[in-house]
Every structure is written in structure tokens, then in C-alpha cells.
Amino acid sequence: MKTHFNINFLENATETLRAIAHPIRIAIIDMLNKNEKLSVSEIHEQLQIEQAVASHHLRILKNKNVVVVTREGKNSFYSLSSKDYYTIVEVLTNTL
Amino acid sequence: MKTHFNINFLENATETLRAIAHPIRIAIIDMLNKNEKLSVSEIHEQLQIEQAVASHHLRILKNKNVVVVTREGKNSFYSLSSKDYYTIVEVLTNTL
DNA sequence: TTTAGATATATATATACTTTTATATGGTAA
DNA sequence: TTACCATATAAAAGTATATATATATCTAAA
């Protein structure tokens, strides 16, 4: 394939979009846009999903650097690594 | 799952992001941002991919309404259904 | 150092996507 | 109608992702 983008950007962009592309993960990004940081418990309780499920999806987002984690005692607090990731969700609220 | 988004939006947003999430499809969205409309030939020749491959990916984008098609004689011309879809790619050029 | 709370990881089955190649359809002009 | 160009669809094998459940690790306090 030949494009003015380098192939590396296209692959990173693909992986980031796939990381975001899941109903639970979009909902998490929305929650993290409204709250500076949230623990796994707060997320799984508010969304009413299993703890293991929340943790699983958070890991996928963390692996692609969409979110960052900081430990504080027993809790892991997750935050958006950039508000830009919410912009992606926001754009879709306009077009869909 | 419980969120202030309705579940229908989350599913549509997921499907749209998955439609975009592919190196070839991101490259196509970029081309269509720079050009009002392009034929399948123009796309497959510029990207140097097989015609069938271009057509295949264009169909995926069309199915999720990211692009629209108009026939003119032998050619099918594809356009972005909204510049907003390029915004998603643009955001990623900032963060990645 | 054991207990309990909070979070993370592993595994398995099912489902979906990608890639490649072959073939079919649509449109136009000779 | 035949031939040709442009586009679309189909099929198969390989690869990746999702979902659900079980279990492990980490941390703080008793």
C-alpha cells in the first residue's frame, strides 16, 4: 500500500480505534471524560458489570495508551490519557 | 450495562469505529478528505492495492454510512458522508 | 501472618474479521 | 450482441476478538 501517511501511523491508529470500539469501552471513556479519575469499583458498579469485565476492558484501553493508571492503596485509579479520545466519541454523537 | 448513553448509540458507535479501524480504510478516508469524490480505480491505483481489495473495503465503509456512492457511467464515485469522519483520523494524528 | 477487599490475569468456546483469489455483474461502445 | 472496462461479490483458510467464569495477585489492617 502507498500513502502519504507512514504505515506505522496507520497501524497505531487502527489499533487505537479497535481498542475504543466496544460499547463498554466507549461508556468507560465517557465516564472518564466527566470524572478526572475513577477506580475499577466505581466503574464496574456504575456500569453494572462484573469487576473482572471492567478490569479486562480497562486493560485493553491501557495497553493502547487511551487511559493511564495510578495505584492508591488498594485502588487503581484510571484516567483518560488525553481528552482527545473523548473527542472521537463526541464526533460520533454528532453524526450518528 | 447501565449508562446515560442509550445502548443503541453505543452499538452504532462501536460498529462505525470498527468500520474505520483498518489501515486501508483510514488511508481511504484521508484520500476522500482531500478529494470531493474518487472512483474505485483512482483509489486502488493510488494506494497500489488490488481492485477487489479496494472495493471490499469501500463496501465496509458504505455499509456503516461513512461513505456514499454515486454511479456515473462505468464508474462508482465515493465520497465521505461527513467531514466528521476525517476528524476522527485527525485526532489520532495529534495523539499518536 | 492471616484475613478481607480490590484488582488483575488465565482459559475456553464461540464468533467475527482479514486476506487472497476467483468469478460475477453492470455499463458502454463497436 | 459481443467485447471490454469498471466494479462488486463469493468462498476458504487463517487469525483475532468477545464473553463468561474461575482463579490469582496485591495491599492494608487486624
Is beta strand A67-72 parallel, antiparallel or unpaired with respect to A38-39? unpaired
pTM value is 0.94
Mean pLDDT along residues B22-33: 97
A46 part of a folded domain? yes
User: Inter-chain contact B23–A7, Cβ cutoff 8 Å?
Assistant: yes
Structurally, how many domains does chain A consist of?
A: 1
Are the C-beta atoms of B58 and A54 separated by less than 8 Å? no
B23 part of a folded domain? yes
Are the C-beta atoms of A86 and A29 separated by less than 8 Å? yes
* Residues in chain B, total: 96
Q: Which of B10, B74, B32, B78 is nearest to A21 (CA)?
A: B10
Strand C contact with B10 (CB < 7 A): no
B66 part of a folded domain? yes
Q: The domain spanning residue B54 has which CATH number?
A: 1.10.10.10
Instruction: Quick: pLDDT tens for B82-96.
Output: 999 999 999 999 998
pLDDT attached to residue B96: 84
In this prediction, residue A96 has a pLDDT band, given cuts at 50, 70 and 90, of confident
A1 part of a folded domain? no
Instruction: Note down the domain range covering B42.
Output: 7-95
Instruction: Quick: pLDDT tens for A2-59.
Output: 899 989 999 999 999 999 999 999 999 999 999 999 999 999 999 999 999 999 999 9
A80 part of a folded domain? yes
The shortest CB-CB distance from A1 to any of B4, B24, B94 is to B24
Share of chain B above pLDDT 90, in %: 94
B2 part of a folded domain? no
Nearest protein residue, CA measured to C1' of D23: A52
Task: Return d(Cα A29, Cα A88) in angstroms, integer.
Answer: 10
B1 part of a folded domain? no
Strand D contact with A52 (CB < 7 A): yes
A27 part of a folded domain? yes
Question: Does residue B60 have a pLDDT over 90?
Answer: yes
Residue given cell 486502488 in the structure block: B44
Instruction: Quick: pLDDT tens for A39-52.
Output: 999 999 999 999 99
